[in-house]
Amino acid sequence: MRVVVLRTTEVLMRPRPFSAALPVTVTALLSCLVGCDAGPSTRDCDRRLAYCDPIDATVPVDIPPRGDVRPIDASDLFTGLLSVSITPENPTLVVRGAVATQPFMALGRYDDGTQRPINLGIWSLTRARAGSIDPDTGSFTATGQVGDVTEVRYELPRPVGDALRASTTLTVRFEQESYAAPATAADRARFATLIPDAARQVVVRYPLDNALVPQNVAPPDVQWEQGAAGDVYRVRLTKPHVAVTGYVTHTGAGFRFDWLVNAAGWRALVESDLDEPITLRVDRATAGAAIEGPARSVRVAQGSLAGAVYYWDLQAGKILRIREEPSGPVREDFLPNPPARPAGGSRCVACHTVSRDGLQMAAEMWEGQGPSVVFDLGRDLSANPAPTRFPLADTATAPSWVYASFSANSTRLIANRLGGLFLVDPATGRTVPPAAGTLPQGNSVQPAWSPDGNTIAYISEATGEGPTAFGSSNLSTIPVTAPDSFGAVAQRVTGASLMAQREAGRALAYPTWTPDSRWLAFQHGPYSESDRPGATPTAPRTRFPAALYLIAPTGGTPTRLTNASADEREDDAYFPNFSPFVQGGHYWLVYFSRRDYGNAQAGTRGTGRRQLWVTAISTSVTPGTDPSNVPYWLPGQDVASDNVSGFWAPQPCRPRGMSCTVSSECCAGTCGPDPMGNLVCNPPPPEAACRREGERCGASSDCCEGLSCAANVCLRPPG
């Protein structure tokens, strides 16, 4: 290619952003690259001007030399220049995992009817989600991680008059294909022609249709039913600018009818076309025909969740923890050796609750027959036995409760044993008498302290077998008027008022607060538990339906959370607990359900096994209108276990200023002395790298650009 570089005494200043006024005062370099025939559109240009629509990232774009390059004199650059345009016009760049670039060129149109390439000026993008553009050369480089549409802008300043501007649209498509052996690329041809056939099409079991998930949820395990050995399945997830496809072969006995979405492909889906749902289809190639699968949608909220979910594994009698890490969910037995009962050696831990700062967990020991304890979650709890905040004693005078809830500042627990509420100091385990007012006694259970510290909600007038099992109850609140001081009880809703609902019954249970203390959610049904033993030891257990509701703490008519509560057969939602995060315009509620997760091979279908689910509830609540969404299964669980009582808490680390013993306890920084000589968590040293998305932090200044520290986790703000 012949290039003519002209130096001139004209001084042209480097242009500022697209919308700014641009003075012209520095040395310019002008390269005359290639010519182009005159015409009203850059589409008159040929491939030698880099025009190709669409552009495939796997095909290199070259601009071969032309013999008709017209050298121009620098003095000719602006003489007769009418306008500028960009070539190629409106290209599409397809990204398939490799580095992909798209060159752009600016053309000047002159009053003699010619077009000439111009390499002076500045290039910019209106959106840089899918890649970046070199401001000097106009070469766009895709990140290879998302699909998007952006406007490419070019601006040429002139010595006299306004700058000349042009723009075009660049579409970036992300495409990914993978093959689970023995499937190969040759199987793609089997899906060239799809036919509808309701009798032979697959039935997708997970994800649920129209579910709403956070952006950082782990890739789903797509599960379906229908087919025989030798069938090939095409699992396809799409958005307007993303297509992720997997080919799976039915291998006979032991085939799981599932495909775990690739992590890179899932990231492209959740971060592209933010306002568009993901469309999922599973097509089936069998016996000479390709059967089109039904379409279903998965919606993505523009927000992320982080922290940990502490839940009870019923079979193991343990509290386990699922942490959401950038690499995916991590299930861990963080408390492998809780204190053992002297008589019999029981290590069962149950009826737990977690403080809102994620630093303490209170629980009941030894099958509900022993004392209660508080664990410091900021410490290593792997010792045998695990340390507790106060000594554990197997005596009649030891502190003991069933349900409890931490105050907003974690200095108090409101608890119940059999049928009355009382205060506990979590540092000592001692009961604290109210400074003013009284706490309700008879048949008062399951207290929940509001995040703002001003109100306690609890289940009142509970009638049944005990503090965990009852068939009739109401929901009441108590105002907190000062530290350890309480006002008059107010009944907010009765169980009998909801008897006409589909799940029937008069039992309310498990109140939980939204993080902003604006709303209470609770469970309603015929019984406070999901089942109970039969009349005889050999009789089957009796199952009970339940639904979730939302109500203002001041009372009113409860709003039924039907989208969250119902599966295809019945209402099946129990023991709700709100996440401490408000993300993407939603509250996030974890609860357990016996509804089927997926199919019988990879999931829990047909077992009735309890698993944790999460629903998003719009923060724009209109009483009487269901603000909940179709839920998603909480990734990281063991599908062979019964999992209940999920409590979502921030990362169990210590923020700045909190006492510590070693640096690893601190969210972001080091453990060192404060001005008084006490060991506290300090900011990270100046040379430390910023914390990335999903990593722990002590303040927003610890996080990399564009992230903020929410509940000790670096998160990307919604939008």
d(CA 392, CA 376): 14
In this structure, the answer to whether residues 670 and 645 fall within a common structural domain is no
d(CA 596, CA 33): 64
Locate 671 and state its tokens: 């453990």
Q: Residue 706's pLDDT is what? A: 83
Q: Give the end of a domain, one of 592, 614, 649.
A: 649
d(CA 83, CA 154): 11
List residues bridging with 247 in a β-sheet: 179, 234
Residue 654, domain member (yes or no): no
pLDDT at 23 over 60: no
Exposed (0-12), middle (13-18) or buried (19+): which is 397, by Cβ within 10 Å? exposed
List residues bridging with 602 in a β-sheet: none
In this structure, the answer to whether residues 519 and 477 fall within a common structural domain is yes
Query: Residue 390: in which H helix or E strand, if any?
Result: none
**More confident site: 665 or 48:** 665
pLDDT at 42 over 80: no
d(CA 152, CA 126): 7
pLDDT at 4 over 80: no
In this structure, the answer to whether residues 551 and 568 fall within a common structural domain is yes
pLDDT at 52 over 90: no
In this structure, the answer to whether residues 602 and 676 fall within a common structural domain is no
Residue type, 233: Y
Q: Residue 22's pLDDT is what? A: 34
Do the strands 242-249 and 164-180 form a parallel or antiparallel pair, or are they unpaired?
parallel
In this structure, the answer to whether residues 282 and 429 fall within a common structural domain is no
The Cα diameter of the chain in Å comes to 102
pLDDT at 419 over 70: yes
Q: Give the end of a domain, one of 285, 300, 315.
A: 300
Measured between alpha carbons, how far apart are the two ends of the chain, in Å?
A: 45
Report the CATH number at residue 520. Answer: 2.120.10.30
In this structure, the answer to whether residues 143 and 282 fall within a common structural domain is no
Do the strands 92-95 and 81-87 form a parallel or antiparallel pair, or are they unpaired?
unpaired
pLDDT in tens, 430-445: 999 999 999 999 899 9
Residue 363 sits at the vertex; the CA angle it makes with 537 and 493, to the nearest 5 degrees, is 80
pLDDT at 46 over 90: no
* Helix, strand, coil percentages in the chain from 3-state DSSP, rounded to 5: 5, 40, 55
Q: Are the C-beta atoms of 528 and 509 separated by less than 8 Å?
A: yes
d(CA 595, CA 591): 12
pLDDT in tens, 357-409: 899 999 999 876 679 999 999 888 999 999 999 988 756 667 899 999 999 99
Q: Are the C-beta atoms of 365 and 371 separated by less than 8 Å?
A: yes
pTM here is 0.84
Residue 542, domain member (yes or no): yes
d(CA 601, CA 605): 8
Residue 658, domain member (yes or no): no
Residue 549 sits at the vertex; the CA angle it makes with 516 and 329, to the nearest 5 degrees, is 65
Residue 149, domain member (yes or no): yes
Residue type, 89: E
123 phi/psi in degrees, rounded to 5:
-110, 145
Q: Give the end of a domain, one of 300, 321, 342.
A: 300
Q: How far is CA 592 from the centre of its chain?
A: 18
Q: How far is CA 655 from the centre of its chain?
A: 23
495 phi/psi in degrees, rounded to 5:
-65, -35
Q: Residue 75's pLDDT is what? A: 56
**More confident site: 291 or 366:** 291
Neighbour-count burial for 299-330, b at 16+ CB within 10 Å, e otherwise:
ebbbbbbbbbbbbbbbeeebbbbbbbbeeebe
Question: How many domains does one find in the chain?
Answer: 4
**More confident site: 533 or 20:** 533
- The mean pLDDT of 168-179, rounded to a whole number, is 97
**Phi-psi group of 267: left, alpha or beta (phi > 0 → left; psi -120 to 50 → alpha; rest → beta):** alpha
Model confidence at 666, pLDDT cuts 50, 70, 90, reads confident
Report the CATH number at residue 190. Answer: 2.60.40.10
Domain encompassing residue 42: 4-173
In this structure, the answer to whether residues 425 and 532 fall within a common structural domain is yes
pLDDT at 67 over 60: no
Q: Are the C-beta atoms of 629 and 638 separated by less than 8 Å?
A: no
Exposed (0-12), middle (13-18) or buried (19+): which is 616, by Cβ within 10 Å? buried
Q: Are the C-beta atoms of 426 and 415 separated by less than 8 Å?
A: no
In this structure, the answer to whether residues 81 and 210 fall within a common structural domain is no
pLDDT in tens, 98-150: 789 999 999 999 999 999 999 889 999 998 889 999 999 999 999 998 999 99
Residues ≥6 apart with Cβ < 8 Å to 696: 651, 653, 667, 668, 712, 713, 714
Q: Are the C-beta atoms of 604 and 596 separated by less than 8 Å?
A: yes
Q: Are the C-beta atoms of 112 and 74 separated by less than 8 Å?
A: no
Q: Residue 671's pLDDT is what? A: 80
In this structure, the answer to whether residues 382 and 361 fall within a common structural domain is yes
d(CA 28, CA 45): 26
Residue 292, domain member (yes or no): yes
Cis peptide before 207 (omega within 30 of 0): yes
Model confidence at 683, pLDDT cuts 50, 70, 90, reads confident
d(CA 399, CA 411): 16
List residues bridging with 277 in a β-sheet: none
Model confidence at 20, pLDDT cuts 50, 70, 90, reads very low
In this structure, the answer to whether residues 150 and 198 fall within a common structural domain is no
**More confident site: 304 or 395:** 304
Residues ≥6 apart with Cβ < 8 Å to 640: 609
Q: Residue 662's pLDDT is what? A: 67
Say which range, 61-65, 526-530, 586-590, has the weakest mean pLDDT: 61-65
In this structure, the answer to whether residues 51 and 109 fall within a common structural domain is yes
In this structure, the answer to whether residues 239 and 131 fall within a common structural domain is no
d(CA 446, CA 77): 80
